[in-house]
Chains A and B, each alone.
Chain A
């Protein structure tokens, strides 16, 4: 762009900065929390058991395509014939790539993990470890642009998770075997998770673009302008929704897991 070479002051080396504040605090926190989540989610996804309890189903395993329990869509547990023999099989592995990909390509998480996991930059106005930089301009990170397709999948997952919360309100009476409406702590756990996931998904930048952001003349589309306004309000707090729903989804799995393992007992409210 510029015609002349720009003699800049010497670029600072990795981690060098004149900042006096704890600039490493936020990226470190991101590293620890996001890292812990990835480790836990991977571990939980490979377990292949303790993902359902009564009417509750762990969000990591929903939709449950194959499984022995009542939540299964296509009947009993079956390892698909095409599944490579050496790989451990778990029903979560069939579906977890979709919500995982949604989060991985989320604009907010991208900005956060480029800093925390790749030090590009380690923090604002702090020197970087590498000279070469491609950004999202070329392969591989240009692939982040598929985010909107993961959004479409995430919207389908919301439908499934809404159904799961509905199912989590119907308990089987052990005496008669009949279904009875009820609410347990697990119902609330799953419902809270659903609300947070709705807030996260509906504040997505790609959704905000889709429902109206792509327009220039809102006066010609008053309906879309309203929806766009609502998406903007959620989008303004996208970071909070992102963290809130990250915690809730892991906690929901943990809650169901501990119930199923018999470590804790569910408390019926209604």
Chain B
């Protein structure tokens, strides 16, 4: 069996440091397996959050060799094991311990987004009708597993800490799923522009790059929402048309 070194960040909100753990690795292993082996054999107190080991629960988010990724979906054979593999917690959220961060800010943000508000039912039996073609677009957005890797990589949260002014790509995506829903009647453009700060996004596309569900966050969700915000607030001609109608 081969050996590889995992350079894992150990510490809490007060501070910490990287520590090297040489451990045995075998074919087919993912980073989460290696972290578990380290935990079992060398560091019983290593804190790590995980659940499904199948890339579906979004719990095992971390930064592996500097890139935000799911530990359970990062195969060791895609990494260079000739040098230590660094594993660190997410950077955009407060640290709890070791690889575990406090992502509860995200839940607070989500609570404040305007709920789904369907139009009155289409049929007498209280049901609605919609076509596949019109839900295709929002179905992409519903693949989100809330791993918050996109939130982590977004420089507005990660580097500029504008958590008070900007909700982050995950929740722009969530807004898009509701806003473009064929049955939804709610209007979220004002809050997107003001409270949720869509204007802060400078479309650098990092969120799209790290999304493990391969959701085209920037191009399919954020930019179309920006266009809707332009319609409402920044485009005098569209405004004029709206007034005349």
Chain A residues near B (Cβ < 8 Å): 1-3, 6-9, 11-12, 17-20, 107, 110-111, 114-115, 120-121, 124-125, 127-128, 131, 133-138, 141-142, 145-146, 148, 205-206, 208-209, 213-214, 216-219, 225, 235-236, 238
Closest to A18 in B: B66
A6 touches B94 (CB 8 A): yes
B98 within 8 A of A: no
A18-B63, A114-B202, A135-B199 are contacts. A8–B167 as well, Cβ < 8 Å? no
In the complex, what residues of B have CB within 8 A of residue A219's CB?
130-131, 133-134, 182
Write 28 A-B pairs (CB below 8 A) sorted by A numbering: A1-B108, A2-B163, A6-B93, A6-B161, A7-B95, A8-B95, A8-B161, A12-B91, A12-B159, A17-B66, A18-B63, A19-B66, A120-B155, A121-B155, A124-B206, A125-B67, A133-B156, A134-B200, A141-B202, A145-B226, A145-B230, A146-B234, A148-B230, A205-B227, A206-B227, A208-B224, A214-B227, A216-B184
In the complex, what residues of B have CB within 8 A of residue A6's CB?
93-94, 105, 161, 163
B202 touches A135 (CB 8 A): yes
A-B pairs, 5 with minimum CB distance: A18-B66, A137-B199, A19-B66, A124-B206, A209-B227
Give the shortest distance, in Å, between A130 (CB) and chain B (any CB).
Answer: 9
Judged by DSSP, the binding face of A is loop
Give the shortest distance, in Å, between B106 (CB) and chain A (any CB).
Answer: 10
B36 within 8 A of A: no
A135 touches B201 (CB 8 A): yes
B88 touches A18 (CB 8 A): yes
B223 touches A128 (CB 8 A): no
Range class of the B interface residue count: 35 or more
Most chain B beta carbons < 10 A, residue from A111, A125, A133: A125
B153 touches A124 (CB 8 A): yes
Closest to B235 in A: A148
- Bound form: Cα–Cα A216–B176 in Å: 11
B145 within 8 A of A: no
Most chain A beta carbons < 10 A, residue from B108, B158, B224: B158
In the complex, what residues of A have CB within 8 A of residue B226's CB?
145
Give the shortest distance, in Å, between A123 (CB) and chain B (any CB).
Answer: 8
A20 touches B65 (CB 8 A): yes
A1 touches B234 (CB 8 A): no
A18-B63, A18-B65 are contacts. A209–B91 as well, Cβ < 8 Å? no
A1-B167, A131-B160, A216-B182 are contacts. A8–B202 as well, Cβ < 8 Å? no
In the complex, what residues of B have CB within 8 A of residue A146's CB?
234
Closest to A222 in B: B133
Closest to A205 in B: B223
A1-B165, A111-B218 are contacts. A9–B91 as well, Cβ < 8 Å? yes
In the complex, what residues of A have CB within 8 A of residue B92's CB?
8
Give the shortest distance, in Å, between A91 (CB) and chain B (any CB).
Answer: 29
A128 touches B134 (CB 8 A): no
In the complex, what residues of B have CB within 8 A of residue A17's CB?
66
